[in-house]
Amino acid sequence: MAKELDINFLDPQEKVDWFSSYTTLQEEAPVYYMPSIDMYVLTRYEDLKFVLSDSKRFTVGTSATGASLYKSEAAHKIYKEKGWTRYQPLSENDPKHWSYRNLIDPFMTPAAVAKREPFIRETANQLIDQWIDKGEVEFVKNYAELLPMMVIAEIMGFPRMDIPQLQRWSFAWALPYTRGLSEEQEIFCATNHVEMQRYIYDTMEEKRKNPTDDLISNVVHADYIDPFTNEKRDLTDEELIGIFDNCLVGGNETTAFAISSGLALLLKNPEVYKAIESDRSKIRRFVEETLRLEAPAQGLQRVAEEDVEIHGVKIPKGATIHVRYGAANRDPNQFPCPHMLDLERKNAMKHMAFSQGEHFCPGAALSRLEQKCTWEIMFDRLENIREVPGKNDYAQLPGALFRALRELHVQFDKKA
C-alpha cells in the first residue's frame, strides 16, 4: 500500500511548500497515492525515467483532447458552437505522435534554431532599449514574457503587431492547467481560445494562398502520411489548429517562466552573479541549473496501460500517474546537494525540465538559446542588477503545475 501523508501539492487552493514536500515524498512515499485527485505521484528521478522511457506501458492517455480541463458545460458549448475541439496532436500517443512531430521538428533542431540567433539577439536588445535608460524595470512583463512570444511568432509567421492579442490568448490557453477554475473563468478561457483558433484558421487560409518562409506555411503545404493507412492525406483544420496553438503557447509560456526564474536566482545567489560576471562561459551551466531548480512545468500525467508495481505499490491498469519533474530535478540520488545552484554540476543537463522519452519538448533547443542570449546580453549591457526595495514578494502564479513568478522589479546601472 502507498503510504498516507497529508500532502496535496496538486490542489491549487493549498499553499504547499513544494520543495520540502518533494523531499518528504522521496524519503517516505516515492509512490504516493493522492485520493483527492485519484493519481499516483512519482517523485524520484529513476522512477520518472522508468515511466517516461516506456511509452507503450505508460501513455499520455486522452490528454490530447483537452476535454478534462473544463468542468462546465458552458465552456464545452463555446467550442462546439464557435470553434473546434480543444485538440493537441503533439500530445498524442504513438504512432500519431511522431507523425505530427515530424512536421515541426525540422524547425526546432539545434541547427535550425542556431540560424535564429541573430534575430533573437536583435529582439532582446530592442526590448532592453525600451527601459535601459530608466534604471528600473518590472522584468516579467517588460522582457521575460515578450522575448519568447516575439521569437515564436516570427518562426510561425504571425505579425509582430499581433503580439498583444497572442499573449492574451496564450495566457487563456494555459490557465485551465492551474486547476479549480470557476465557471466564469472557464468561459473566459474557452472564449479566448476559440478566438485564437479563428485567428489561426484565418492565418492558415492566407498561408495556403500566399505561402512564406515560416512554420505555418510549410506545415499547411506538407505531405502528411497517415500512420495507420500509410497513405498521404490532407491534415484536417482541427489537426492543424491544434498543432499551431500548441506550438505558440509551448514556444513562449515556459521559456518566459524560466527567464524570470533565472533572474530571481541571480538576485538570491550573489556569488553566482559574480561568477558569471567574471566568466561568461558559465552561462550555459547556469541555464541548465535554472531549468533544474525552477522547472517551468513541474509535472504532467501518464496512464498505466497494464498493472505495474513500483516500490511495492501496485498501480492498476488505467490509473493516472503524475510524473513530477520538479521533484525528480531535486532528487539527491541524482543531483548531490539538489537544492543548491551549482555552476560546476557535471550532470546539470540530465534534468527533466523538458521531460524525457519520445515526448521530450520539441522546443528545448530554442528555449536554451533564448535564455543563453538573454544572460549574455544582460551582462553585456547592465551591471549591479538588484532588487527594488519593498517591491518583490516572489509570489508565484496560482496553480498546481507551473512555476511562474507574478512579477520581478529590479534596478540596475547601465554599462558605458
Q: Note the pLDDT of residue 4.
A: 66
Span 14-38, average pLDDT:
88
pLDDT in tens, 378-411: 999 999 999 999 999 999 888 888 999 999 999 9
Q: 361 CB contacts (<8 Å, ≥6 apart)?
A: 250, 254, 354, 355, 367
pLDDT band with cut points at 50, 70 and 90 for residue 202: very high
pLDDT of 370 strictly over 50 = yes
- Coil vs helix vs strand at 179: coil
What's the rounded Cα separation, in Å, for the pair 320 and 367? 29
Q: Starting from the edge strand earliest in sequence, which strands make up the sheet with 31-34, in order? A: 31-34, 39-42, 320-323, 300-304, 58-59
Q: Is the pLDDT of residue 6 over 60?
A: yes
Give the rounded percent of residues in the chain with a pLDDT score beyond 70.
Answer: 97
Question: Cβ neighbours of residue 17 under 8 Å, at least 6 residues apart?
Answer: none
Query: Given a cut of 60, is residue 299 above it in pLDDT?
Result: yes
Whether the upstream peptide bond of residue 332 has omega within 30° of 0, thus cis, is: no
DSSP string, 284-309: HHHHHHHHHHT-SB--EEEEESS-EE
Q: Is residue 11 part of a domain?
A: no
Answer yes or no: is pLDDT of 1 > 50: no
Q: Is residue 9 part of a domain?
A: no
Determine, yes or no, domain membership for 13. Answer: no
**pLDDT, average across residues 353-365:** 94
**In-domain check, residue 2:** no
Kindly report, residue by residue over 243-280, the tens digit of the pLDDT.
Answer: 999 999 998 999 999 999 999 999 999 999 999 999 99
Residue 153 lies in a domain: yes
Residue 330 lies in a domain: yes
* Average pLDDT of every residue of the chain: 94
List the domain range (segments joined by +) for residue 245.
18-414
pLDDT confidence band for 2 (50 / 70 / 90): low
Query: In this predicted model, what pLDDT tens digit does every residue of 28-46 receive, in sequence order?
Result: 999 999 887 889 999 999 9
Is 368's pLDDT higher than 90?
yes
How many CB atoms within 10 Å of residue 131?
15
| 8 in a structural domain | no
Check residue 343 and give its pLDDT.
Answer: 98
225 has a pLDDT exceeding 90? yes
pLDDT tens figures, 108-153: 999 999 999 999 999 999 999 999 999 999 999 999 999 999 999 9
DSSP string, 54-68: -TTTEE-TTGGG-GG
pLDDT of residue 211: 96
The pLDDT of residue 14: 62
pLDDT per position as a tens digit, 159-185: 999 999 999 999 999 988 877 789 999
Average pLDDT value for residue range 288-305: 96
pTM over 0.85: yes
Average pLDDT over residues 332-354: 97
Res 3: pLDDT: 57
**Between 358 and 68, the higher pLDDT residue:** 358
Residue 55 falls inside a structural domain: yes
Q: Measured between alpha carbons, how far is 177 from 145 in angstroms, rounded to an integer?
A: 18
CATH, residue 82: 1.10.630.10
Strands ordered across the beta sheet of 382-387? 136-138, 409-414, 382-387
Average pLDDT in the 42-71 region?
88
Residue 41 in grid coordinates: 505521484
CB 358 within 8 A of CB 98: yes
C-alpha cell at 214: 515560416
- The number of distinct structural domains making up the chain is 1
At residue 34, the pLDDT reads 86
pLDDT at 12: 62
